Structure 1
Amino acid sequence: MISVVILGAGNVATHLYKAFAKSEQVKVTQWYNRSIKNLQSYKTEVSITDDLSKLEEADVYILAVSDDVSAHLSTKLPFENRLVVHTSGSVNVHDLDKKNRRGVFYPLQTFSKTAFVNFAHVPICLEVLDKADLKILKVLAKAIGSKAHKVNTDQRKALHLAAVYVNNFTNQLYRVAHEITEAKGVEFDILKPLILETAKKVQDHSPYTAQTGPAKRNDKKTIKKHLKLLENDHHKDIYELLTTSIQLTHGRKKL
């Protein structure tokens, strides 16, 4: 059994704790957060603390904290030569204090505390400086049903950047679409089957072959009508930018 100490109480930390707690191969020895009140609801399930000097011994220490905190927190750990990993897609593994063995346990998924996450659908990107530590992180990922992927720093950062496009930017486009439908008094829910079908299609086809619509067809008449319908200048800018991007991708326009 792998023993784990989790540091942090945000979305990622909370979902990791719940996944580890269900696994017969993992024991969460302790959960740390600088504000103990954020952990009070779990005090009957796991040992909680807000005191770094009282951290218990474990096989892996997971820094599930914000990107700008993980490096500093690693310097405050009161021990040496133990495996310490962060969960970020963008923080360099070398930013962690070198007094300990360093690694990355990056779950590539969007997390909200109120939304259930099935870790069988969450790829875990692993990076280590000591090859011997890769085995334990692979076992840890497998213990919660996730598929592990060994990546280097550049690959992990590229995945994180790409994730912003497919998740954060896409969600913002949903928001724009919601504003457009709301302005005309039509339900956004009518679009949800299309959203699901679009996500489903890319499981079996490349984004390039899955592309449809007026920009790909170079349907200038429809594009002009859409731009005329848009009353928000910001929405027009987004429409024109993405239309141009699609046209360039599919040879309908040249730089």
Structure 2
Amino acid sequence: MKTVTIIGSGNVAYHLYKAFSLAENILIQQVVARNKSALETFVSPDKLCTNFEEVVDSDFIIIAVSDNAVEKIAGLLKNFKGIIVHTSGATSLGVLNKHENHGVFYPLQTFSKSREVVFQDIPICIEANTKHNHLELNELACTISGNVQRVNSSQRRQLHMAAVFANNFSNHLFYLGGKICAENQLSFSILKPLIKETVDKLEVLSPYEAQTGPAKRNDQNTLEAHLSILESDLHKDIYTLLSQSLQETYGKKL
């Protein structure tokens, strides 16, 4: 039986708690955060802790907090024998150097408390300061995921940036598309089959092969018509920049 302490009360901490609660041979000893009310929404009372001086040592201490808080939280942990890891894609392994045993446990997924995920399908990227700790982290990750990969800090930063393009930016474009619909008395739901097919096609085609649209085919009339009806200068800039990127990708010029 391996023991786990989770530090954090946000989306990642929530889903790790759910996943490890169902995992075999894993015992969650504590979930730690200063925001008691946030913890009470998903943590059983006997595992809840709001005082960092009362954090107990575990085989694994998982710091699942925002990127800019990782180093500060790590500094509050003193004289722990367990492997201390963070879950940040954008933060290096080195921020935990003061701890004898440390690593990274980065689940590559977008998380919201309001939506359940199948952790078995989520890639977990691990890194550790020793071979032994890597093996231990690999074993831990395999209890909740069937896709565990060894990724170093440099690779992980690039992967995190790629994920921002693929997820965060694409979702914002969905928002902008929905905003245009709403401004013209149309429901966002009319776009959902298109969005679904956009993603589903990637099962059989590469993004390069799947691309369609006026910018790819160099349809200047449509591009200019769209720009003429966009009211926001920012939205015009976004439309133009993305169109330029598409044209460069497919060897055409605006």
Q: Same fold (TM over 0.5)?
A: yes
Residue 96 of structure 2 corresponds to which residue in structure 1? 96
TM-score by length of 1: 0.94
SS of the residue 2:251 aligns to? coil
Matched, 1:228 2:251: no
Residues 112-131 of structure 1 show CA distances to partners (whole Å, capped at 9, x for unaligned) of 11111111221111111111
Residue 83 of structure 2 corresponds to which residue in structure 1? 83
Which amino acid in the other structure matches residue 102 of structure 1? Answer: H
CA distance in 2, matches of 1:71, 1:51: 18
CA distance in 2, matches of 1:74, 1:154: 21
Residues 25-76 of structure 1 show CA distances to partners (whole Å, capped at 9, x for unaligned) of 3111111112333223455464221222222231100000111111121121
Residues 122-157 of structure 1 show CA distances to partners (whole Å, capped at 9, x for unaligned) of 111111111111122112222113411101111100
Q: Check the 8 A contact 2:31/2:43 in 1, yes or no.
A: no
Quote the offset at 1:231 in angstroms. 2.4
Structure 1 window deviating more from structure 2 (140-149 vs 212-221): it is: 140-149
Structure 1 window deviating more from structure 2 (46-55 vs 243-252): it is: 46-55
Residues 213-238 of structure 1 show CA distances to partners (whole Å, capped at 9, x for unaligned) of 11111111121222222222222111
Structure 1 vs Structure 2: percent identity of aligned residues? 43
Matched, 1:141 2:141: yes
CA distance in 1, matches of 2:42, 2:194: 39
Quote the offset at 1:208 in angstroms. 0.9
| Runs of at least 4 residues off by over 4 Å | none
CA distance in 1, matches of 2:44, 2:231: 54
CA distance in 1, matches of 2:143, 2:180: 44
Which amino acid in the other structure matches residue 230 of structure 2? Answer: L
Cα RMSD over matched residues?
1.6
Residue 51 of structure 2 corresponds to which residue in structure 1? 51
Residues 93-121 of structure 1 show CA distances to partners (whole Å, capped at 9, x for unaligned) of 11114233110000111111111111122
Residue 241 of structure 2 corresponds to which residue in structure 1? 241
Residue 200 of structure 1 corresponds to which residue in structure 2? 200
SS of the residue 1:75 aligns to? helix
Q: Check the 8 A contact 1:74/1:97 in 2, yes or no.
A: no
Residue 181 of structure 1 corresponds to which residue in structure 2? 181
> Would the alpha carbon gap of residues 130 and 185 (structure 1) be closer, same or farther in structure 2, given more than 3 Å must change?
same
Structure 1 window deviating more from structure 2 (160-169 vs 200-209): it is: 200-209
CA distance in 2, matches of 1:145, 1:46: 26
Residue 30 of structure 2 corresponds to which residue in structure 1? 30
> Would the alpha carbon gap of residues 222 and 18 (structure 1) be closer, same or farther in structure 2, given more than 3 Å must change?
same
Q: Check the 8 A contact 2:84/2:99 in 1, yes or no.
A: no
Q: Check the 8 A contact 1:8/1:65 in 2, yes or no.
A: yes
Residue 166 of structure 2 corresponds to which residue in structure 1? 166
Which amino acid in the other structure matches residue 115 of structure 1? Answer: R
Unpaired runs of at least 5, structure 2: none
Q: Check the 8 A contact 1:53/1:78 in 2, yes or no.
A: no
SS of the residue 2:215 aligns to? helix
Residue 209 of structure 1 corresponds to which residue in structure 2? 209
Residue 9 of structure 1 corresponds to which residue in structure 2? 9
SS of the residue 1:62 aligns to? strand
Which amino acid in the other structure matches residue 196 of structure 1? Answer: K
TM-score by length of 2: 0.94
